[in-house]
Structure formats: C-alpha cells, structure tokens
Amino acid sequence: MKNYKKWIKKSSQEIAFISKDPILFLSILLIFSSLIIFILYPLCKVITVSVFSKGQFSFIILKDVISNWYFRQGFYNSIIMGTLTSIIGAGIGFLFAFTLARTNIPFKKVFHLIAIIPIISPPFIGAMAIIMLFGNNGLITSGLLGINNFKIYGFRGLLFAQVITFFPVAYITLRGVLESISPTLEDAAFDLGGSRWKVFKKVTLPLAIPGIASAILILFVETLADFGNPLILAGSKFPILSVQAYLQITGMYDLPSGAALALILLVPSVSVYFLQKYWVSRKKYVTVTGKPTASSHKVVSPVAKWILFAFCSFLAFIILLIYFTILWGAFAKVWGFDNSLTLNNFKYVFSVGFEAVTDTLIIAVTSTPIAGILGMIIAFLVVRKKFPGKREMEFTSMLSFAVPGTVIGIGYILAFNNPPFALTGTFLILMLNFVFRYIPVGIQSGVAILQQVDPCIEEAAVDLGADSQYTFKKITLPLMVPAFFSGLIYSFVRAMTAISAAIFLVSAHWNLMTVQIMSQVESGRLGAACAFSVILVGIILLAILIIRLILNLFYGSFGGTMLKI
C-alpha cells in the first residue's frame, strides 16, 4: 500500500515535470494512445472474440477448437516445425557465421551477400523454388531424375524451405556474437596448450552458447509465425496453425474459431519471445575489452577450414539455385513443360497486376518513414526521458515483434471493421498495420545508438538554451541518422515482403504484390508468380541502393559504413 502511494507520488512528480514541456507531454500521450489503439486493442479483440460466445463469457469456442483433432494436429505440427527449424537453422547459421568470422577462407564477402538475399526477399520464395525444383513437374525430380510422383508437399519440403528461409537470421545474429568474442581468448587457450578442438569446445562454444540459445528462440518465433511457406508447401496432410487460422476465416467465414486459433498461436510465440528477450539475452558474456583485436586464424586447422568452406559453398549454391530458379521461372514459357525463354510473364504482370505493384510501393513508401521516425522518437523517450509508463511503452511497442502476423491481421479485421475505426479495405489499415508492426526495428536500432551517445551532449544543448524539440531535431536526430536509415531499410524490406498480416487486410482497391504472388501460385501460374517476385526483389535492391547513395552523398563514407545491410 505504501509502495503504491509512493508510486503515485513519484508518477505525479514526473508528470508535473514533463507537463512543463507541453510538446513532449503531448507526444507521449499521442504515442501511448496510438500504441493502445493499434497494438493492444486488436490483440484484446482476438482474445475477447475467442472467449465470448453470444455475448457471454465462455470458453466454448476455445474448447471446440482444442477438441478438434485437426486443429490439435496443426498445433503439434507448428511446434515440431518450429523446434526443428530453429535447431537446424541455428546450427547451420552458427557454422556459417563461425566460418566467416574465424577463418580466412576466400570469397567471404560473396558468402555474406548470398546469405543476406533470403532476408531481403519475400519469405515464401524458397517454397516456390522448391516446388519448381522438386515438385511434380520439378526441374530436378522429373526433369533430371525422371521421378514423377515425388512428395515434396508436407513435412520434408516445408522443413527444407523454412531452414533455407530462416538460417540467415541466425547467421546474422551469431556473426555478431562471434565477432564480439575476442579472438585473443582463443589464441590464449591455444597458447596454453589446448588442441584446436578443445579450444573450440572449451572457449568459443561456451562463450557463444547464450547467443546460440537466443538465435534458436528467435527462429522458433519466426517459424511459428511464418505463413507463406506453409501455405504453399504444407498441404492438407501436414496442417500448420497459422494457415489453419487463415483458412478458417477466409474459407469458412468463421471469425471466432480463427481468432481462437490465433490465440493458441499467440501463447507460445509471445512466451518464447519474452524468454529470449528478458532471460537468455541477459546471459550474454561481455568479452570485448577495448581494442579490437585481429584473429590469427590459427584456431581452425587447414582441414577443418576447407571442410567448412565446402559446407558454405554448398549452402550458397542452394540459395543461388533457388533464386536462379525463380529468375528462370519468370522468363520460362510454361515451367516444367516448356522452359524456353519469353517475356509473356512480365507482360501478364504489367497488364493484370500492375496496380498491386504501385499499391505495394505506395504503402511501403508511406509507412516506412513514419515507422522509422516514430521508432526513433520512442527510442529517445525510452532511453532519455523519465515518465510514468515508460517501461510499458517499450514493452507494448516491442510486442509486435513477438506477435505472429496472422494474429495481428485477424486482430485488425476484428478491431477496425466497425465505427469508430471502420478502416477495413482502406489504404489506411494496411499502412497503419505496417507502421505498428515495424516500429520495433527503429526502436531497437535507435536505443542501441542512443546508449552510445553521451547524454551530456544533449544536456549541453539544453544548457545553451535549446528546448527539448530543438535538441531532438538538431542534436539527437542527426546523431541517430545511421540507425534511422538502417531501420528504414529493414522496415521497407519487411513492408514490401510482408504477407501474414497483410493477406487479411487487402481489398479490391488496395492489393499487395506478395498477396498477388500467393494467389498466382495457388492458381498454378508459377511463371507470373516468379515474374512478380523478380520485380519485387528488384525494387528492394534498387531501394537499398538509393538509400546507400543518399547516405554516401550526405554523410560521406561515414554514413555508408554505418549501414550494415
């Protein structure tokens, strides 16, 4: 009770303090209300719809869903798929990261770029290519090997697609982890007489374990939430929860059951996400001790080095094969029957689906800067300001990282179908969805860079007479520019490639390329789907190039090097 009173006292003091700065006060209020409306409210809707039946609180819908064996199977499959993908993906990612961080193999940069490609392309490209390579009319199965009834749909194919799609995420995370482990530690262990294998087992691996654990958990959350690959590859014999929820709503028009499935999907994702964020990521070792040290590359034996090189080459080959297949598919007459080249697929795209291209661009171009700026502002408030509910603000805005897109999509159609927020079918609902789904990216990079900027620099501006808006605009924001742009690139890529939430929100007026690609795949027009994908990846690459050029122009090499992707 006493604590509660103290909290009120402290909060009211803080409110009194920030209310002296009306614009700061207003922006905090504004951010709070938008986070509540566009993140919490849709989630609450998912929950309430699943626990209210005919206006009465009851668990009937949830009970029905859980007692249905087919949905239960979907749940188990999702968990199994998530577990396997995360373990295999993190393993491959670790080997890839270890090879690039700790050996002096040739073509390191090329390997890095190849591993990045799946991150900047729609997540279901892997699934498409796998069908084109191993499906009924697959280039490898029926074309090369003459097998006609190879079963790629289901567990095997999906696992393969998921691992290829998500291992790069583990690679990026683990490369950072490995690079933060000073190689001198390994050199020291080696110098003390440890064999190479012992050094790896006793020093490198234990130091990387927290990083590996967190990569596994991140992959688990991402795989569980993934929608595109399972929709294409899972098939009816291997149901996956996110697809089931979607089919329940779009196929059966059963919103409550769909919401209940979303709720069941939400629980493991959110719990694993927060396990990762608040427990595993705290166990990280800090081993960087000032001066960056160069590795002597002596800790990997030549034989091991070339084995790792072969492994990376094989992986890079598979990724290239996938993208080459898509590219060829875009120019092929009828994939599997007549693979000779043509421009018909592109003609088809430009005549039938060009609106989807412009729509996607408009939505991505409007939502990413808003998400970026909002992310920076929230990062700034969270790191630098004191106000009641600060932690709650950070928590809520990071929530959309943890919540599967399917759940968000269902939440949005439930929340914004009726006044006062009748937004279904509009441009606004898609844009808002993207903004609030991708602010965490901006927040994360903003928080990271702000923690490196000495608060005195901002205090100095205030001391010289600047108010908080002026300080933010003239001092903080310019310092955050590199983080802002890398956040911008990331959210642009995500907005261009998003499918799981967006598929619920598109309409006849506002459609997206990813959704178009999906419907082309479903109706068997693989060529058109490939052509769409090529255009999509082309736009993304162009956008990255433009942003890099702008940064180089205004910030010289400084801005360019700050950008990692």
Partner 1 sequence: MSVKLVNISKIFRDQENIQKKVVAVKDVNLEIKDGEMVTLLGPSGCGKTTTLRIVSGFETPTTGEVWISGKMVNNIPPNKRDTSMVFQSYAIFPHLSVAQNVGFGLELKGWGKTEIEKEVRRIMKIMEFSELYNRKPEQLSGGQQQRVALARAVINKPSVLLFDEPLSNLDAKLRVQMRMEIRKIQKTFGITSIYVTHDQEEALTISDRVVVMNEGKIMQVATPIEIYSYPKNMFVADFIGRVNFIPGKIIEKKEKTLLVNFGIYQKEIKCRYGDFKVNESVIIVVRPESLKMSPAKKKDPHCIQGEISKLVYLGPTIEYEIEVKELSRKIFAVIYNPIEEGFFKVGDLVNIDFKPIAAHVLSQKDKE
Contact residues toward partner 1 (CB under 8 A) are: 3, 6-7, 10, 17, 20-21, 454, 456-457, 459-467, 470, 475, 478-479
Q: How far is the CB of 224 from partner 1 (least distance, A)?
A: 35
Q: How far apart are the C-alpha atoms of 405 and 47, rounded to whole Å?
A: 15
Tell me the residue type at 485: F
Q: Which is nearer to partner 1, 355 or 459 (CB)?
A: 459
Q: Which is nearer to partner 1, 19 or 523 (CB)?
A: 19
CA 423 to chain centre: 25
Report the largest interatomic distance among the alpha carbons of the chain, rounded to a whole angstrom: 79
Q: Which is nearer to partner 1, 468 or 511 (CB)?
A: 468
Q: Which is nearer to partner 1, 12 or 148 (CB)?
A: 12
Look at strands 56-57 and 52-53 and give their pairing. Answer: antiparallel
Q: How far is the CB of 461 from partner 1 (least distance, A)?
A: 7
- Element at 229 (helix H, strand E): helix 228-233
Q: Which is nearer to partner 1, 461 or 534 (CB)?
A: 461
Nearest 5 degrees, angle CA 556-CA 545-CA 309? Answer: 100
Residue 376 · residue 446 · CB < 8 Å: yes
Q: Which is nearer to partner 1, 54 or 391 (CB)?
A: 391
Q: How far is the CB of 394 from partner 1 (least distance, A)?
A: 16
Helices (H) and strands (E) in the chain, counts: 26, 4
Q: How far is the CB of 388 from partner 1 (least distance, A)?
A: 13
Q: How far is the CB of 5 from partner 1 (least distance, A)?
A: 11
Residue-by-residue DSSP string for 496-565: HH--TTHHHH--SSS--HHHHHHHHHHTT-HHHHHHHHHHHHHHHHHHHHHHHHHHHHHHHHHHHHH---
Q: How far is the CB of 468 from partner 1 (least distance, A)?
A: 8
Pick the closest to residue 84 from 153, 152, 167 (CA basis).
167
Q: Which is nearer to partner 1, 247 or 453 (CB)?
A: 453
Q: Which is nearer to partner 1, 338 or 463 (CB)?
A: 463
Q: How far is the CB of 560 from partner 1 (least distance, A)?
A: 16
Contacts of 388 (CB under 8 A, 6+ apart): 10, 11, 14, 15
Q: Which is nearer to partner 1, 21 or 64 (CB)?
A: 21
How buried is residue 417: exposed, middle or buried, by Cβ count under 10 Å (0-12/13-18/19+)?
middle
Q: Which is nearer to partner 1, 7 or 306 (CB)?
A: 7
Q: How far is the CB of 140 from partner 1 (least distance, A)?
A: 54
Phi first, then psi, for residue 299 (nearest 5°) are -80, -5
Q: How far is the CB of 476 from partner 1 (least distance, A)?
A: 10
Is there a cis peptide before residue 206, judged by omega within 30 degrees of 0?
no
Q: How far is the CB of 463 from partner 1 (least distance, A)?
A: 5
Q: How far apart are the C-alpha atoms of 129 and 332, rounded to whole Å?
A: 13
**Beta-carbon-side half-sphere exposure of residue 460 (alpha carbons within 13 Å):** 8
Handedness of CA 242, 246, 251, 253 (dihedral sign): positive
